[in-house]
Chains A and B, each alone.
Chain A
Amino acid sequence: MNARKAIILTAAVALFFGVFFLFPVLMVLGEAFKDKGGGFTFAYVIQIFVNPVYLEGLWNALLLGVTSTFAALLIAFPLALLTHRYYFPLKGPLSALILVPLVLPPFVGAVGVKQMLGVKGALNAFLEKLGMMDPAAPVDWLGEGRFWGIVIMNALHLYPILYMNIAASLAHLDPAMEEAAQNLGCSPWRRLRRITMPLTMPGIFAGGAIVFIWSFTELGVPLVFDYSRVAPVQIYDGLKDLESNPFPYALVAVMLIISSAVFLLSKALLGRSKLGTAPRPKGRQSEKRLQGWKGWGLTAVFLGVFLLASLPHMGVILLSVATDWYGTILPEQFTGAHYDEALGHPLVVPSIQNSLLYASGAMLVDLVLGLAIAWVIVRSTIRGRALLDALVMLPLAVPGLVLAFGYLALSQEGRAFSFLVGANGNPALLLVMAYAVRRLPYVVRAAVAGLQQSNVTLEEAALSLGASPLRMMRRIALPLLAANLLAGGILAFAFAMLEVSDSLILAQQAEHFPITKAIYALLNTLGNGYELASALGVWAMVFLGISIVGAVSLAGKRGGLFRM
């Protein structure tokens, strides 16, 4: 690729990024440090740390982030190590299946958890039946343990990110590294601590940073659990009086600074270690085939993790087909009526249409941008490629909440983004852009991995045989990249379908609601709102489960999707 084209492409991408990412983020930061007269002030940010309510919210968010990350690591590391070491029955389908929880919206799952752990929920009904609890004085599990409920939801939702990163680190490990330790007298347990763990640190840090930022800024789950003393919910609640209240800005700025610090720290730790340069394996299979009960035991472990992670969603499925589920272990009677009713509800069908529209729009934007960026990063030699590479990864460090907030402020009458708001307050373009910017890193990573794997000489051969650059792209490069691009695109699409913070904040009128906001609205509806929300949630999950399994089987083995 010649330098001029690369520079033009880079400039175009940088412009897009500047307008739709850096600008809103910096605007939020700016507002947080601007006093009423427009001068610079630290007062609001200091107020966050002085005001006990905000301080508690921030502290709770931090605690949620840290504990959720460790809990996810506790699930992910053993799983990754076991898949790396052993072969067991049904390994192929199971290692795809344990990634599914990532697209089961935790926000929907929380509804199921409430159904099971509520005062009149399944667990209490079960305990009463066993005679272990007095029906007159039931335990309010969620009232007592909301914090841990959120941690568990986050960990069970996000562990696949860590799992994929650690698995990729392990796959890049030369088996001889472990064999050498064994050969020099190291027992298997000590080898894990001295060799395997340190060498997988890049994967742990990369995945851990994403999981931390995600759960630190998670809005949907605390909202459904009515856990209001946490910063993201406080920000959401503060949106109503945004004009008069500068504190949401300050809170958002503090969260942004913490997230970016964690992201940069993990990058710095990774950058200093030379672990990325470890030699690649020489193709020797290091998996050990486990026979008999040991093999099936591992199968059971993997299946168990999946079942545990999808338990909340099973609750949702049950709820969606229950006539009445109150104070009993399982629903007494079943019905398909909620599905019919849901399809007739004014919120449901339009929300599915809206989500499909927004998500496909975002996917298209991501595919075009992702391919262009990956091309510059891998195939050009212009200076600043590394910077571009780092820049497009930044959305991973910026909480969705921050961006949504910036978009909301900028789309007000007379502000820079008001042109994106369609007639009658239609947020379609806003949402497409917001979704696209936040999912761009995944598509770029997928395309970069694909380009790196496909040898540049294959493209050069086509050019030397007389194909024009465009024809070469169409006939050689794109077909070779197809699987990676498809995988990245499907992932971007799936995440956009489930996106919570942008959707909740940017869609204002019922006719423009995407699925997630429609579910949230139904949850707050009296009557059979819960059942209808569940039915809609099930529709969404079935759809997403299919797309993620497709994406993983296309390119998941190569592992590059969630690398930073």
Chain B
Amino acid sequence: MEAICADSVIKDFGEVRALDEVSLGIDPGELFFLLGGSGCGKTTLLRCIAGLEEPTSGRILFEGKDVTDLPTHKREAAMVFQSYALWPHMTVGQNIAFGLEERKVPRSEISDRVREALEMVQMPGFEDRGIDQMSGGQQQRVSLARALVVKPKCLLLDEPLSNLDAQLRLEMRSEIRRIVKENGLTGVYVTHDQAEALSMADRLAVMDQGKVQQVGSPEKVYRNPESSLVASFIGETNLLAARVKGLESGGLVAVETDAGNFSGRLTLEGWSPREGDEVAISVRPEAIRVTGGGGESQGEVLQTTYLGEIIQYRIRMRSGVEVQASEMNPRSVIEQGSGVSLEFHSEDVVVLRE
């Protein structure tokens, strides 16, 4: 049974529809990501799950039980806030003990559990510190401990790392994943940072304009985007307008574009394009192999960006279309202005419905 389930959830704020019939299921023990740009509805969905927002229609289910009308404080879904929301009039220890006190846990047990929670987030002995004496990273850990200590059924995280600097963010990524997994928690994590989602998630949902666009594991969503929106939101890609020329063996589709003729695979289930259809193709820059000079060139290098482990080319094809390509571990650099030819495998070309 799914740990958390959203069933056709609609949420309107006045005229604005923040969630548009969202349905998805989250499995027990899984770290699930809601990914999308600002205003896509991801935080609203999280707040509906937490009970901080009441859906206009639709249901929220926890382990099959309808909790839509259950107030937040009875849901056992602990939340970690973007601003941490640590109460400044209480010490670290008092902040963490709060949820236990509300649950009428005996005094003696509270201090043990607060200590354990602080050890869990690697801040032992911080009980008596004031909130304002701690750095952002430490506050982040305390707010995590405060949510964990009540042994919630699920942990909800609202952009928890967005206020930290880049180095700390990397560190906390693995830290949060470790904590969620060690405690066997079901986690729902909201972010706009695709690297965070790809590196931490068991599964993720890409959201846009209040709708879930695609759900799947990071590899699946990255390799097999089902729409040009998902393809361009996750990672970088070249999206080219194309026209279907015909179907090939092995489920491949032949298309023609301004950058040449290709064949590519389909990702969207139940869709088969017909000859002459206007479609789009997506090719990741790293899937394109650039070879310089010799023979008849297909395009010209407009710009070369050398980043050490990787080199990026901006190439203008003869037809005028521009394409991004990148090469890992570059052994040589192709100079700006050189003629180049492009190669790629049809496995790396995804044909998408326009």
Residues of B contacting A181 in the complex (Cβ-Cβ under 8 angstroms): 87, 98
User: Is B102 a contact partner of A180 (Cβ separation < 8 A)?
Assistant: no
Q: Are B88 and A179 in contact (CB under 8 A)?
A: no
Closest chain B CB from A240 CB (angstroms): 51
A184 to B99: give the CA distance in the assembly, Å. 5
Cβ–Cβ contact B72 & A183, under 8 A: yes
CA distance A122 to B75 in the complex (A): 56
- Chain B contacts for A176, CB-based, 8 A: 81-85
| Chain B residues with CB under 8 A of A198 | 87, 89
Q: Does A195 contact B (CB under 8 A)?
A: yes
Q: Which of B52, B89, B102, B150 contacts A179 (CB 8 A)?
A: B52
| Chain B positions 83-103 with a Cβ under 8 Å from a chain A Cβ | 83-85, 87-89, 98-99, 102-103
Do A279 and B83 have beta carbons less than 8 Å apart? yes
Tell me, rounded to whole Å, the shortest Cβ–Cβ distance linking A198 to chain B. 5
Query: Bound state CA distance, A184 and B147, in angstroms?
Result: 7
Main secondary structure of the interface of A (DSSP, over half): helix
In the complex, what residues of A have CB within 8 A of residue B60's CB? none
Q: Are A184 and B81 in contact (CB under 8 A)?
A: no
CA distance A201 to B88 in the complex (A): 12
* Contact mask for chain A residues 173-201; partner B; CB cutoff 8 A; 1 contact, 0 none: 01011011111111100100011001101
Within 8 A of B (CB), among A452-470: none
Partner of A183, one of B78, B82, B84, B89: B78
Instruction: Assess whether B77 is interfacial by the CB under 8 Å rule.
Output: yes
Q: In this assembly, does A273 line the interface, its C-beta being within 8 Å of a C-beta of chain B?
A: yes
For the complex formed, measure the closest distance between the CB of B137 and the CB atoms of chain A, giving whole angstroms: 16
* Interface contact B102-A177, CB-CB below 8 Å: no
**Inter-chain contact B146/A184, CB cutoff 8 Å:** yes
Q: Which of A186, A194, A199, A201 contacts B73 (CB under 8 A)?
A: A186
- Give bound CA distance, A184 to B130, whole Å: 20
B74 is an interface residue with CB less than 8 A from chain A: yes
For A383, list chain B residues within 8 Å (CB): none
**1/0 per residue B44-70: CB within 8 Å of A?**
000000111000000000000000000
In the complex formed, the residue of B with least CB distance to A289 is B14
A186 vs B90: C-alpha distance when bound (angstroms) = 16
Given contact pairs A187-B73, A199-B88, A277-B88, A180 touches B79 in the complex (Cβ within 8 A): yes
Beyond A184-B78, A185-B73, A185-B150, is A179–B130 a contact (Cβ under 8 Å)? no
- B236 CB within 8 Å of chain A: no
Contact A275 B89 (CB under 8 A): yes
The reply to whether A184 and B102 form a contact with Cβ atoms under 8 Å apart is yes
CA A194 – CA B99 in complex, angstroms?
12
Give min CB distance, A6 to chain B, whole Å. Answer: 29
Interface string of A260-288 (1 = CB under 8 A from B): 00000000000001110111001000000
CB-CB < 8 A to A277: which residues of B?
A: 88, 132
| C-alpha gap A179/B81 in the complex (Å) | 9
Pick from A184, A190, A275: contact of B88, CB under 8 Å:
A275
Is the CB–CB distance between A182 and B73 below 8 Å? yes
**30 A-B pairs whose Cβ atoms sit less than 8 Å apart in the complex:** A176-B83, A176-B85, A177-B85, A180-B81, A180-B146, A181-B98, A182-B52, A182-B71, A182-B73, A183-B50, A183-B51, A183-B52, A183-B72, A184-B98, A184-B102, A184-B147, A184-B150, A185-B103, A185-B150, A186-B73, A186-B98, A195-B87, A199-B87, A273-B89, A274-B88, A274-B130, A275-B88, A277-B88, A277-B132, A279-B85
Known: A180-B146, A183-B50, A184-B146. 10 other contacts (CB 8 A): A176-B81, A176-B82, A177-B85, A179-B52, A180-B85, A182-B52, A182-B72, A184-B150, A279-B84, A279-B85
- Name B's A-contacting residues (CB within 8 A): 50-52, 71-79, 81-85, 87-89, 98-99, 102-103, 130-132, 146-147, 150
